[in-house]
């Protein structure tokens, strides 16, 4: 059996000194449940905007929160309730969520090894790969990585950077349960990548809104719905809880 791992990033890069966090997250689902995921997310998108075809717009956490894109002309209350509806739908899927949170400010204070964007990606992607591979071995499954492409038709620098990190990581492993190199695609065509985008934005935004009154209740409810399926690793403070129960 094969598990699909959809991966996306959130937060800000190493050179942004104003914000503290960078995230990588993966939405994971068995290939046998892919059609269920696609069908149920399409039904949710149809429920949200009955006048639009589900494949004509993306679920993007940033758009929902900021009221842009497909959510430009809807109320804040509707947008906040959308977070809860998406999390409710995802909580019913037989899926898992893996995420790495890097506190850049604390990392600068505790490590001299990370000096640029490449180092940040290497650290976070290595950690994510370790967790995904451990889960595959525990489950005796194979896995395929599907990455949200950051490249344009003119450049492949960012995607190439992740491929190099993956190759370096795999060269140091005696065995890996991943099949092939990571595959890259555009989130507008992949439901799983849209869910990965939602997850990483929800984690990022929840960390920013903690302790504030602005939308905190709705975001907390949405986040808590997914916590039983989530494994979150924090760098440099290493804390995690593991919940692998399908619902």
The lowest-confidence range among 69-73, 129-133, 159-163 is 159-163
Q: Percent of the chain, pLDDT > 90?
A: 66
CB of 6 closer than 8 Å to CB of 195: yes
In the predicted model, is pLDDT for residue 8 greater than 90?
yes
Beta-strand ranges (E) seen in 65-115 are 95-103
What pLDDT score does 213 carry? 59
Cα(149)–Cα(146) distance, integer angstroms: 9
Region 59-74 average pLDDT: 94
What pLDDT score does 153 carry? 46
Q: Which two tokens stand for residue 33?
A: 């449940």
What pLDDT score does 23 carry? 93
What pLDDT score does 245 carry? 43
CB of 142 closer than 8 Å to CB of 136: yes
Locus of tokens 């019913």:
92
Region 69-98 average pLDDT: 95
Region 151-174 average pLDDT: 78
Give every CB contact of residue 3 below 8 A, 6+ residues apart in sequence: 28, 29, 30, 31, 135, 136, 139, 141, 142, 143, 144
The lowest-confidence range among 43-52, 103-112, 162-171, 213-222 is 213-222
The three-point CA angle 186-189-193 to 5° equals 65
Q: Which two tokens stand for residue 235?
A: 């760098």
Locus of tokens 């949170």:
101
Residue 91, CB-side half-sphere exposure with 13 Å CA sphere: 14
Instruction: Choose the most confident range, by mean pLDDT, from 79-93, 172-186, 203-217.
Output: 79-93
Q: What is the pLDDT of residues 130-158, one digit of tens each?
A: 999 999 999 999 999 999 887 654 455 66
Give every CB contact of residue 32 below 8 A, 6+ residues apart in sequence: 1
What pLDDT score does 48 carry? 96
Prediction pTM value: 0.89
Q: Strands across the sheet with 95-103, in order?
A: 183-185, 142-148, 2-11, 21-30, 95-103, 230-235
In the predicted model, is pLDDT for residue 176 greater than 90?
yes
């Amino acid at each position: 059996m094969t598990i699909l791992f959809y991966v996306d990033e959130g937060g800000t890069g190493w050179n942004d000194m104003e914000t503290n966090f960078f995230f990588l997250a993966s939405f994971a689902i068995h290939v046998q449940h892919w059609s269920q995921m696609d069908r149920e997310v399409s039904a949710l998108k149809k429920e949200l905007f009955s006048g639009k075809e589900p494949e004509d717009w993306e679920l993007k956490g940033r758009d929902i929160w900021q009221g842009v894109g497909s959510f430009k002309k809807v109320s804040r209350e509707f947008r906040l309730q959308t977070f809860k509806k998406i999390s409710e739908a995802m909580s019913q899927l037989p899926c898992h969520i893996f995420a790495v949170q890097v506190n850049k400010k604390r990392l600068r204070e505790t490590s001299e090894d990370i000096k640029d964007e490449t180092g940040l990606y290497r650290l976070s992607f290595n950690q994510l790969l370790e967790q995904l591979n451990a889960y595959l071995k525990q489950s005796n499954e194979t896995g395929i990585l599907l990455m949200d492409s950051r490249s344009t038709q003119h450049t492949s620098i960012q995607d190439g950077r992740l491929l190099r990190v993956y190759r370096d990581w795999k060269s140091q492993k005696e065995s890996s349960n991943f099949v092939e190199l990571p595959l890259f695609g555009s989130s507008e065509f992949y439901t799983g990548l849209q869910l990965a985008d939602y997850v990483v934005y929800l984690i990022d935004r929840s960390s920013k809104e903690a302790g504030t009154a602005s939308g905190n209740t709705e975001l907390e409810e949405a986040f808590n719905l997914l916590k039983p399926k989530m494994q979150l690793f924090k760098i440099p403070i290493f804390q995690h809880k593991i919940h692998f129960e399908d619902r």
